[in-house]
């Protein structure tokens, strides 16, 4: 290791710049690797959705826009279905919640 006190201010600045540049290169490399992993994970997730929702490939769809459009439609239908089920369950459960309160507690509270 070089003695920092024996270095001139220009040499110290040059050493700091070299260190910062090395750190920046490591950071840039880590970002690129993270982006590659994220892109792979997204592709894998989309492929799993295609399989799960049974969205098949089409012949004349080189960039898979039609397939992606079908996937978006299938997911939209699935979301609508879940929303309808949730709203149906909430309207069915609302009277049940009121009816589940025992009448004994109400009468004792007013006594």
| DSSP result, the chain | ---GGGS-HHHHHHHHHHHHHHHHHHHHHHHHHHHHHHHHHHHHHHHHHHHHTT----TT-TT-HHHHHHHHHHHHHHHHHHHHHHHHHHHHHHHHHHHTS-HHHHHHHH-
More confident residue, 8 or 90: 8
Whether the per-residue pLDDT at 101 is higher than 50: the answer is no
Whether the per-residue pLDDT at 90 is higher than 80: the answer is no
**How does residue 22 score in pLDDT terms, banded at 50, 70 and 90?**
very high
Instruction: Give residue limits of the domains in the chain.
Output: 1-52, 59-111
Whether the per-residue pLDDT at 105 is higher than 60: the answer is no
The confidence score (pLDDT) of residue 111 equals 38
């Amino acid at each position: 290791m070089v003695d920092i006190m024996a270095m001139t201010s220009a040499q110290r600045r040059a050493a700091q710049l070299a260190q910062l540049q090395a750190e920046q290169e490591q950071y840039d490399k880590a970002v690129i690797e993270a982006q590659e992993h994220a892109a792979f994970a997204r592709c894998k997730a989309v492929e799993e959705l295609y399989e799960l929702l049974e969205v098949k490939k089409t012949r004349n769809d080189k960039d898979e826009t039609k397939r992606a459009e079908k996937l978006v439609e299938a997911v939209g239908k699935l979301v609508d279905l879940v929303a309808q089920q949730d709203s149906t369950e909430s309207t069915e459960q609302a009277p049940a919640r009121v009816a589940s309160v025992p009448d004994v507690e109400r009468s004792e509270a007013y006594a």
